[in-house]
Amino acid sequence: MASFEPLEKELGVSFNNKDILRQALVHRSYLNEHPDFPLGHNERLEFLGDAVLELIVTEYLYENYENPEGELTNWRAALVNSEMLSKLCSEMTAEDHLYLSKGESKDKGSKARKYILANAFEAIIGAIYLDQGWEAAKQFVHNRVLSELPNILENRLYIDPKSRFQEAAQERVGVTPSYKVLSEEGPDHEKQFEIGVYLGKELIATGTGTSKQEAQVSAAEAGIKEKGW
């Protein structure tokens, strides 16, 4: 079995029990193809890590900011959502160590892979907590997750893209954006929508997604980039 030393260096943790780290990287699909694998999948570690992560982030926000509960809740959500966690996981070599089925291994860059990475990140936190304790888990979360907070606050990433684009559009040009479905493809269970975001009659940007809401968010994100807002 592969050495986890490079990953441990990235995590800043030398595991006493390497199997706890190994299990954090085992996706359920791998066990379907390898029923004799000696470890279980990572879902219980993910469950634990999710709670540890949320408490560490909540404690930090509570101790360092006097803001109202609603704002702190939005900041926390921006730090611990699957988009953020999958990004953080992909910045490490953890993806190279994942135990995946052959099908999942090929599925890089998909929405499903993002969820696998986010879940693995939470499972790693659970593994650190189990093997090294609260302080080690706290150190890791501070280094990897809470370090993202200044950027989130500066760029108001805790506000969803549609709201951000709407606020900026109303403030800068006095227009409320509108969204229009440009195309709709695929069977009902695998629909792909392309949606345009408009300011008046001007098409600003387009976005795609497996639901209209997802495509609208994608279009709003593209609109923010296009306008430099």
pLDDT at 186: 85
| Residue 95 annotated in active site | no
User: What would the mean pLDDT of 146-169 be, rounded to a whole number?
Assistant: 92
| Distance of alpha carbon 228 from alpha carbon 173, whole angstroms | 13
Point out the least confidently predicted range of 16-20, 30-34, 59-63, 186-190: 186-190
| Distance of alpha carbon 106 from alpha carbon 13, whole angstroms | 29
Residue 18 has pLDDT above 80, yes or no: yes
Query: In terms of pLDDT, which residue wins out, 85 or 2?
Result: 85
In Å, how far are 16, 205, 206 from 222, measured between CA atoms?
45, 6, 7
Residue tagged active-site, from 33, 43, 69, 122: 122
**CATH H superfamily, domain 5-154:** Ribonuclease III domain (1.10.1520.10)
Phi, psi for 99 (deg, rounded to 5): -95, 105
Give this prediction's pTM: 0.79
Residues counted in the chain: 229
DSSP E strand stretches across 160-221: 178-185, 192-199, 202-209
pLDDT band with cut points at 50, 70 and 90 for residue 109: low
**104-117 CB burial, b ≥16 within 10 A, e <16:** beeeeeeeebbebb
| Residue 122 annotated in active site | yes
CATH 3.30.160.20 fits domain 161-227: yes
Residue tagged active-site, from 50, 104, 131, 221: 50
Residue 34 has pLDDT above 70, yes or no: yes
Domain ranges across the chain: 5-154, 161-227
